[in-house]
A = this chain, B = another copy of it.
Amino acid sequence: MSLMSESELEVALRSIGAERYHNLHPFHRRLHGGKCSLAEVQAWALNRYFYQALIPQKDAYLVARLPTPALRREWRRRIVDHDGEREGEGGIARWLALTTGLGLDRELVVSARAVLPATRFAVEAYVHFCRDRSLLEAIASSLTELFSPQIIGERVEGMLKHYDFVTAETLAYFTKRPPQAAQDSAFALHYVKRNAKSEAEQRSVLAALTFKCDVLWAQLDALWHAYVEGNIPPGAFVPEPCR
């Protein structure tokens, strides 16, 4: 690998998404295509809640390491988006509206005690990555959001069409998210292109995005194994129809 221009680096980043982003995972096709049972959608939402709930933690680790008020303000917006300005607002509250709409007990979801261990390990790996790796790598790992507006569009349309247990109201998380993700990822992409100036830095940036794709993919692999194939590990969520 030799030093890339900014636009070559962007092409390389986008090609990682084209090959590894979790819109390519069979669980996503199953979810959007209306093939999931209620139990599978519940398991997806309950596990994904754990991911959503830890996003502000990883963002706070990132804010803690940004050197200027302007950069910290820019990144702080992400925490506000997820945590809201007051009780009941923000992305996490909207995700809880989804899990509640799907019939899941709020305390069960918030406690995270029934989350798949594989979900926990993957999500915590992401938080630790943003705490422990270089600032450049931490920012680059957020770039999966470059690819999320499209998948969210497909998801909302597919889920509303196929599932009578899903309403536009319970999907409020997803209708709010695409403009935020577009703004966030535009900033992060600009930062990464400007600051990855050596071959080693560019390699680290590509590896960070690959790592993040692995974090998302591993969560869907675990969901599939546990809830589509029916191999629920000890202690994890058991949907009503399986009891």
Q: A residues within 8 Å of B by Cβ?
A: 19-20, 26, 116-118, 120-122, 124-125, 128, 210, 213-215, 217-218, 221-222, 224-226, 229, 231, 233-235
Offer 6 A-B interface pairs, CB within 8 angstroms, sorted by A: A214-B234, A214-B235, A218-B233, A221-B226, A221-B231, A222-B222
Please name 8 further chain A to chain B contacts, defined as beta carbons within 8 Å, in addition to the given A26-B231, A118-B121, A124-B125, sorted by A numbering.
A20-B234, A117-B214, A117-B218, A118-B122, A120-B214, A217-B233, A221-B225, A222-B225
CA distance A215 to B224 in the complex (A): 18
Choose from B26, B116, B117, B213 the contact partner of A234 (Cβ within 8 Å). Answer: B213
Copies of this chain in the oligomer:
2
Note all chain B residues with C-beta closer than 8 A to A218.
Answer: 116-118, 121, 222, 233
Of A116, A121, A229, most B-chain CB atoms within 10 Å: A121
